[in-house]
Amino acid sequence: MNIHEYQAKAILKQNGVNIQEGLTAETADEAVAAAKELQKQTGTGWWVLKAQIHAGGRGKGGGVKLAKSLDEVHQLATEMIGMQLVTHQTGPEGKKVRKILIAQDVYYPGPSEKKEYYMSVLLNRETGKNTIMYSAEGGVDIEEVADKTPELIFKEEIDPGTGVLPFQARKIAFNLGLEGQAFKEMTRFVAALYRAYVAVDASLFEINPVLKTTDDKIMAVDAKVNLDDNALFRHPDLADMRDLNEEDATETEAGKNNLNFVKLDGNVGCMVNGAGLAMATMDIIKLSGGEPANFLDVGGGANAETVEAGLKIILSDPAVKAVLINVFGGIVRCDRVASGVVEAYKNLGNIKVPVIVRLQGTNAEEGKAVIDNSGLKVRSAITLKEAADIVKEVV
C-alpha cells in the first residue's frame, strides 16, 4: 500500500526526522489559512504548494509551486486543486489533485550552499538485510543517475538485528561530503529514517530530496513509502491512510471479494485458481498470441459467487477481447465450478466476448458436460492445449 507525502512526513516526524513542515488543504481558502498558520509556527513568509497524488515527478509536471505572498497562495491553490496532474509516473491521463500540502519554503538564502541528496531504505531480499541507498546526486530522477552514473550511488547494508551502527551513519555522512553541523545532523537523520522504516514495516522509505539548508540543517523535503500489505494488520492507523481515489477501482473491488487481482495491459482476461497456475496460464495466453489483461487468482475455494465477482471485474475492462477460465479441480470439483460459471454468465447477462473454460481434475468430464449442455456461448476444453488453440482463434 502507498500513502501520500504528507502522511509519510507525519511518520518521519514521529520518529525524529526533520521535515519541511506543512499543512494540507482541499480548497484555496483552506490553503491561505494553512499558510497563515505555518507563518505563525515557523516564521516562513514563502510557501511551496505541493499536489498530493501517489506519483513522483510532480515538480516537473507543475505540481510543486512556490508562492511568495498569501495572494499567490490563493491563486496557485485555485489552479492546482482539481487539476489533472500529468507526470512521468501517472500515465498520459494524469491524476486528479484533490488535496495539496502547503509547506514552509526551506530553500531560503543563507551563509552556506544548499544541496539536495538522495536517500532510501529498502528491503534487500537477496541478503535478508535492509539497504540504505544514498547519493549526493539528489533532487533529480534517481533512476537516471543509476542508469548513467551508477558509481555515484552508494549502498550500506544494515543488519536488522543491530540496526544502523554509529560508524555506518558516520560513513554515510562522510561519503556525502558533509562536515561540521551538517555531518552531525546527517548521522541523526540516517538513524531516524531507519527507525521510521522499521516502525511502520515499510519495504521502501525514500527521501528525494534530502536537503542541506543554507544554515546546515538536514531535512526531508519529499517522502515516498511502500508499506508491506502483509504487516498492515499490525498498524490499523496506517491502514486508515488508504486513499481509494489513488488505487485501481477494479483492484479495490477484487480485494473486497478476497480475490487476488492485478490489472495488466493485455486483451485476454484470465481467471485461475492458484497463483502458479495463473502464471502458467498467462504464459499460455502469450504463446497463443494474446496478452493477459490481468492476473486473477480466485483461490482454493472457488464457488459461484467468487466466479461471478471475478468475471464481472474482468469484463469491466473494455480492452478484454476474450476470457479464459482455467481451473484445476482439486479440493473444488470441476462440475461445481462449471455450474458457477453458467450461473455467473446468466446473472451478468449481455456478455459480448467469448468465454473459454478449461477444467481439469476432479469431475472434469462432468464439468465440461455442464458447460456444453448450458446452451451458452461458452467454449469448453479439457486440456490446456485445446484452450490455447481456442484463444488463438479468438484473439
- Just list the catalytic residues: 118, 206
| 59 carries a ligand binding annotation | yes
Stretch that binds ligand GDP, among 104-112, 119-127, 276-284, 384-392 (CB under 6 A): 104-112
| 15 carries a ligand binding annotation | no
356: burial class by Cβ within 10 Å (0-12, 13-18, 19+)?
buried
Contacts (CB under 5 A) with Mn ion, residues 193-212: 208
| 229 carries a ligand binding annotation | no
Runs of H (alpha helix) within 200-318: 236-239, 249-256, 275-287, 304-315
Q: Is 22 in the site for ligand GDP (CB under 6 A)?
A: no
| Coil/strand/helix, residue 52 | coil
Q: How far is the CB of 99 from Mn ion (least distance, A)?
A: 17
* Alpha carbon 174 to its chain's center: 33
Q: Is 105 in the site for ligand GDP (CB under 6 A)?
A: yes
Query: Inter-axis angle of helices 384-394 and 275-287, to 10 degrees?
Result: 50
Q: What ranges make up the beta strands (E) of the chain?
A: 22-25, 47-51, 64-67, 84-85, 95-96, 100-104, 115-124, 129-135, 153-158, 202-212, 218-220, 224-227, 260-263, 268-272, 294-297, 322-329, 355-361, 378-381
Q: Is 57 in the site for ligand GDP (CB under 6 A)?
A: yes
Q: How far is the CB of 54 from ligand GDP (least distance, A)?
A: 10
Q: How many residues does the chain have?
A: 395
Q: Is 141 in the site for ligand GDP (CB under 6 A)?
A: no
φ, ψ of residue 385 to 5 degrees: the values are -60, -45
Q: How many residues bind Mn ion (CB under 5 A)?
A: 2
φ, ψ of residue 17 to 5 degrees: the values are -90, 135
Nearest residue to Mn ion by CB is 222
Binds ligand GDP (CB under 6 A): choice among 137, 156, 185, 222: 222
Nearer to Mn ion, 41 or 89 (CB): 89
294-297 and 260-263 as β-strands: parallel, antiparallel, unpaired? Answer: antiparallel
| Coil/strand/helix, residue 13 | helix
Site string for ligand GDP, 188-217 (x = CB under 6 A): --------------------xx--------
| Coil/strand/helix, residue 14 | helix
Binds Mn ion (CB under 5 A): choice among 5, 116, 222, 335: 222
Q: Is 56 in the site for ligand GDP (CB under 6 A)?
A: yes
Q: Is 183 in the site for ligand GDP (CB under 6 A)?
A: no
| 273 carries a ligand binding annotation | yes
CA distance 29 to 44: 19
Residue 141, binding choice from Mn ion, ligand GDP, none, Cβ under 5 to 8 Å by partner class: none
| 222 carries a ligand binding annotation | yes
Q: Is 45 in the site for ligand GDP (CB under 6 A)?
A: no
Nearer to ligand GDP, 211 or 387 (CB): 211
| 208 carries a ligand binding annotation | yes
| 331 carries a ligand binding annotation | yes
Q: Is 339 in the site for Mn ion (CB under 5 A)?
A: no
Q: Is 73 in the site for ligand GDP (CB under 6 A)?
A: no
Q: How far is the CB of 122 from ligand GDP (least distance, A)?
A: 17
Residue 354, binding choice from ligand GDP, Mn ion, none, Cβ under 5 to 8 Å by partner class: none
How does DSSP classify residue 87?
Answer: -
Cell digits for 298? Answer: 480466485
Q: Is the dihedral of CA 342, 344, 350, 352 positive or negative?
A: negative
Nearer to ligand GDP, 222 or 335 (CB): 222
Torsion angle of C-alpha atoms 66, 70, 76, 78, degrees rounded to 10? 160
Binding-site residues sit at 50, 57-59, 106, 116, 208, 222, 273, 330-332
Binding site for ligand GDP (CB under 6 A): 20, 48, 50, 56-59, 64, 66, 105-107, 139, 208-209, 221-222
Question: Annotated binding residues for ATP, as ranges?
Answer: 50, 57-59, 106, 116
Residues that bind Mn ion (CB under 5 A): 208, 222
